[in-house]
Structure 1
Amino acid sequence: MKEKIPDRLISLDAFRGITMILLVSTGFGLAELKDFPYWNELAMQFTHAQWEGLHFWDLVQPFFMFIVGVAMPFSLSKRLRQGQSDREIFWHVVQRSLILIFLGVVIIKGVQLMKGTPSLTNVLTHIGITYFLTFLILRKPLKVQIGVSLAILLIYDLAFRFVPLPYEAGPWQQAQNLGSHIDMLLGFEFNEGGWVTINALSTAAHTMWGAICGWILLSDRNEKRKLIFLVAAGVIVLFAGFILSPVTPIIKRIATSTFVLVSGGWCLLTLAFLYWLVDMKGYKSWTFFVNIVGMNSIFIYMFDILLNGWLLDFLSIYTEPLLGGLNVGSIIITINLALLVKWYICYWMYKHKLFIKV
């Protein structure tokens, strides 16, 4: 495939920024409205589905993993133009994967590690795994990349169905499935919410599909053909997931094949919309606000995981007296004030040219 190196894919930067704002927003506090009749449906969209089903909030992590994949062909092409050898690029990928896994396991989940029950369910850990798996096929023909991603989903689905387990329940039961059983055998932390480590394998498809889109966007196809590919692929994958859902339920916490398909479809369609809006139509001015956060994505994610609780407690010292004590309104305002503080930290880092990369 011929390559046409664009100056910058601004829509990708915008997608990354939007995703990071969502990740550190604490759902804008909207989940607090769950007990209000007129707001209940909206509030539920900003929480994870308890088990089966799909909420908007279930798409945020797939967005993050998909974006990592889209950026990979651009990064690889840049390194090759700079004259880096295959060996240098490979070791850069290994190093980056290990750092991401380290941040997820040791820094974010350090308490569980010290207890002797490590956890590999953090998004950074999963990105470290899926990033490396995607790199292994990154320079293969696109048909091979598509085939590998679909094969992973098929094998994952069959494994959940047919690997014998000491449970009488079916393959998709919470805490009694292949994923939770493997975590138990490996001595990993028992997750009461039903999250499992091996969903990093099926969700590798998100990163692989992102990389495929990256190659398409990097190619010499005209913009209209690129957009048609993104929309068509998104619709096909999305409907495939819904059509298969009576056979394999949509469950994010174990990342069933149908969940990966449906969420992957939304990733593709969101990228298509932003590509059309920003790169094709030229509506770029608004992207600065979100790009500020995307430029320091790992930093602000770590800040949110480690310090957001402290920040909310600090701000509530001032907001609760002003807003009449602890109530839904004060909680929502405090959460969004915290988001503004995090945005300003990113803005300050941007102004001082501080960019923390992994």
Structure 2
Amino acid sequence: MFLMIFVNDFWTLEDVPVWLLHTAAEADAMGFSDVIFPMFLFIVGLSLPFAINNRMTKGDSNRVVLQHIVERTFALLLMGIFLVNFENMRSEVMMIPKYVWEILLIAAFFLIWNVYPNKPERKRLYTALKVSGYVVLIVLAAVYQGGTKEDPRWMETHWWGILGLIGWSYLICSVVYLYFRQRLLLVIFSWFVLVLFNLADFAGWLTPLDAIRNTFWIVGSGAMPAFTMAGVVASMLYQRHFRKDNATIFIAILILLGVLSLLFGFGTRPFWGSSKIRATPAWLGICTGVSFIVYAFFFWLVEMADRKNWANALKPAGEATLTCYLIPYIWYALVTIAGVSLPLFLRTGMIGLVKSLLFSLFIILLTGLINRLGVKLKI
């Protein structure tokens, strides 16, 4: 989350080194920014076995857990669709100014999915707040206009947005783990199927399915859930096979999986290039390999070397990830409406990068503060 907020702030800067930026769709290249989201999806996969197993130990049945998975997916998809349409709106013809629309949107998310105190005497109030959030969403959708002057359009799924991609990946991988959680080999097989689906699409083997591509498809041609499923595999390996006396073997397995993924990525790069926008097999393999190896490093650092205090300042980003992700939307809207902008020299080159790093830390600390005030999203 710290790095995601950091790279998402680059749009406010000038003269950012090219190697830090997202690369164009047609380019055979990867920037630092192109690796961050895959690693986030990998971390989603790392958390899934713990989250689902925790619900099981509390007595939840498969049906109850599945219902929760569907509800969480719906929330992520809904938020993703609204946010991606914000990027495609025709603000000049709308009744509500663009950035006011944005602030109201994020406020509605907080009203609906805030963790309200467990106070029965205020249950009606909290229900009314949630309902009001949905009413705001309906109004925002009703006044929305997108497309072009020649081809006006209402809200569309587009590419689902970041939260939507997380939602689809979460749904697929959660359901797979829910029903295969006792069978590591089947989970690994599911991961391979997603990777092969991505490879098959670029190899042209899935052209007979073109008729359904626009209505029924796996996001990223399997790449997005493949990142998450790789995290699920790593988490299952940890839960089943890690012990203090075999830590070196466990870390070696992670590094081996990382190296194999890198070989797959670089091996397929000559055919279709490496591109995040196109979600090529090379991008999938390289970012998966980086994720395994980075996870192995942090596992050694935190679990084996017992060095974890360095992350205390970043804890709110892990405890309230969705809250942390959404706060910048409000921040950018408010400063734009107010017409506030830092001097150019504070937004240029190395000084600008330091500014974005400090901004990311500020957002995380702000998340911790509002959490203590009782504002925290949970879906």
Q: Aligned partners of 2:212 and 2:13: how far apart in 1?
A: 34
The answer to whether structure 1 residue 52 and structure 2 residue 35 are counterparts is no
What are the Cα deviations for residues 222-267 of structure 1, in whole angstroms up to 9, with x where unaligned? 2333212211111111122112211232111121122111100111
Q: Aligned partners of 1:49 and 1:272: how far apart in 2?
A: 27
Q: 8 Å contact 2:34–2:276 — kept in the other structure?
A: yes
Question: Aligned pair in 2 of structure 1 residues 315, 337: CA closer, same or farther (>3 Å)?
Answer: farther
Q: TM-score normalised to the size of structure 2?
A: 0.71
The answer to whether structure 1 residue 136 and structure 2 residue 175 are counterparts is yes
Q: Aligned partners of 1:76 and 1:102: how far apart in 2?
A: 22
What are the Cα deviations for residues 311-358 of structure 1, in whole angstroms up to 9, with x where unaligned? 5548984743xx879866775565455434312311203444643212
Where does residue 24 of structure 1 map in the other structure? 5
Give every structure 1 segment of 4 or more consecutive aligned residues whose post-TM-superposition deviation is greater than 6 Å: 323-326
Question: Aligned pair in 2 of structure 1 residues 30, 229: CA closer, same or farther (>3 Å)?
Answer: farther
Q: Aligned partners of 2:267 and 2:352: how far apart in 1?
A: 40
Where does residue 236 of structure 1 map in the other structure? 260
| Unpaired segments ≥5 residues, structure 1 | 1-19, 35-39, 166-177, 187-195
| Unpaired segments ≥5 residues, structure 2 | 90-140, 145-152
Q: Aligned partners of 1:132 and 1:244: how far apart in 2?
A: 28
Q: Which amino acid aligns with 2:283?
A: F
Q: 8 Å contact 2:14–2:348 — kept in the other structure?
A: no
Q: Aligned partners of 2:351 and 2:336: how far apart in 1?
A: 12
Q: Aligned partners of 1:207 and 1:162: how far apart in 2?
A: 24
Helix, strand or coil at the partner of 1:120 = coil
Where does residue 156 of structure 1 map in the other structure? 198
Where does residue 76 of structure 1 map in the other structure? 52
Alignment of 1:77-156 (within 5 A): 77-110=53-86, 114=144, 115-116=153-154, 117-138=156-177, 139-140=179-180, 141-156=183-198
Q: Please report the RMSD computed on the Cα atoms of aligned residues, expressed in angstroms.
A: 3.2
Q: Structure 1 residue 217: deviation in Å?
A: 1.6
Q: 8 Å contact 2:347–2:353 — kept in the other structure?
A: no
Q: Structure 1 residue 158: deviation in Å?
A: 2.4
Where does residue 273 of structure 1 map in the other structure? 297
Q: Aligned partners of 1:271 and 1:84: how far apart in 2?
A: 30
Question: Aligned pair in 2 of structure 1 residues 316, 29: CA closer, same or farther (>3 Å)?
Answer: farther
Q: Structure 1 residue 206: deviation in Å?
A: 0.4
Where does residue 299 of structure 1 map in the other structure? 323
Q: 8 Å contact 1:54–1:250 — kept in the other structure?
A: yes
Q: TM-score normalised to the size of structure 1?
A: 0.75
Helix, strand or coil at the partner of 1:247 = helix
Q: Structure 1 residue 204: deviation in Å?
A: 0.9
Question: Aligned pair in 2 of structure 1 residues 149, 33: CA closer, same or farther (>3 Å)?
Answer: same
Q: Percent identity?
A: 20
**Corresponding residue pairs, total:** 306
Q: Which amino acid aligns with 2:164?
A: T
Question: Aligned pair in 2 of structure 1 residues 246, 31: CA closer, same or farther (>3 Å)?
Answer: farther
What are the Cα deviations for residues 1-48 of structure 1, in whole angstroms up to 9, with x where unaligned? xxxxxxxxxxxxxxxxxxx011112466599464xxxxx7xx122211
Q: Aligned partners of 1:246 and 1:109: how far apart in 2?
A: 35
Q: Aligned partners of 2:5 and 2:171: how far apart in 1?
A: 25
Task: Pick the structure with more helix per residue.
Answer: 2
Question: Aligned pair in 2 of structure 1 residues 314, 348: CA closer, same or farther (>3 Å)?
Answer: farther
Q: Aligned partners of 1:79 and 1:137: how far apart in 2?
A: 16
Q: Aligned partners of 2:350 and 2:295: how far apart in 1?
A: 34
Helix, strand or coil at the partner of 1:252 = coil
Helix, strand or coil at the partner of 1:282 = coil
